[in-house]
Amino acid sequence: MERLSLRSAAARVRHLLVSEGRGPLCEVVLGGTLKDLSRQLGLTHEVLYRTLATMEREGVIERKEGILRLAK
């Protein structure tokens, strides 16, 4: 519930990584598709796709197939 109260999509993604991620880079292995993740975060899939692309471009996160993590 705490995550859903966050206003920005980027804040929700960061919260997911910090609260559920493993290791020093807060790595999260996705158990489904990005559409599944968007539902979990309470976002439309379009907003999630744009947010992840922006965060990756800004060097905040790294994405690999099925994995999200904070950038070094």
pLDDT tens column, 13-30: 999 999 999 999 999 999
Contacts of residue 44, Cβ cutoff 8 Å, sequence gap at least 6 = 38
Q: How confident is the model at residue 50 (pLDDT cuts 50, 70, 90)?
A: very high
CATH 3.30.420.40 fits 2-70, yes or no: no
pTM across the whole model: 0.89
Percentage of the chain modeled with pLDDT above 90: 88
Contacts of residue 5, Cβ cutoff 8 Å, sequence gap at least 6 = none
From residue 61, alpha-carbon distances to 1, 20, 21, 37 in Å are 23, 15, 12, 16
